[in-house]
A and B are shown apart, each in its own frame.
Chain A
Amino acid sequence: APAAALKDEL
């Protein structure tokens, strides 16, 4: 599974 993404974008 891919690494956790930063969820600071829209």
Chain B
Amino acid sequence: MNVFRLAGDMMHLLSIVVLLLKITGIKSCRGISLKTQELYLLVFITRYLDIFTNFVSLYNTVMKLVFLGTSSAIVYYMRYDRIIKLTYDKEQDTFKYLLLVAPSAVLALATSHVYTVLEVLWTFSIYLEAVAIMPQLVLLQRTQNIDNLTGNYVFLLGSYRGLYILNWIYRFFTEKHYRQWLVWTCGVVQTIIYCDFFYYYFLSWQNNEKLALPA
């Protein structure tokens, strides 16, 4: 495992920690899209179905369990916690699941390497992860006074994707049989989706102002 991959995973983990701190610490999920969180849970479930059949390393297995556990916890808090659910911006979080899930499913069925349930669902998870952040970005545009934790959460998630691209470039040049066009294309698309957010994040940081995304 190279340093980019490890740093990427740590950013991903940190983004989840920041989100959980926000939700449980200040008992608020204001500005957080439940739709994005549920899509991530679906991504993890469909991707990690091989958790007990395809052992790679203890690190991978533990991380998969952590991602499954924490994303379930986040969805649970936002949906069912007596206090936290009251802070969810349901009326603003209007992105349609089907708009993201249906194309991902069609593409997975059309491009899967082999047609086994596990492989098609894995391919589906790659497509879905690429676009799962969209409800969150739309909700951010609609949120006035985005708090620091929410801005940092999205920033850390975007950093994780950027670092994975550096990891792929590194592996491309150091490993002979590392050719993953599907994963790469989706990864690049996913990172491009963050570009607009990054622009305004750095702008607000540079000017020492609160983050605001123009509608």
Contacts and interface: CB of A to CB of B under 8 A. Distances in A.
Interface of A: 1-10
Interface of B: 5, 9, 12, 50, 54, 56-57, 60, 63-64, 67, 111-114, 122, 164, 167, 177-183
Contacts of B178: 6
Contacts of A8: 56-57, 60
B182 A9 contact: no
Nearest to B115: A1
Nearest to B54: A7
Contacts of A9: 5, 164, 167, 183
B64 A10 contact: yes
Is chain A's binding surface mostly helix, strand, loop or mixed? Answer: loop
Given A9-B5, A10-B64, A10-B67, A3 B113 contact: yes
B111 A1 contact: yes
A8 to B, nearest CB: 5
Contacts of B50: 7
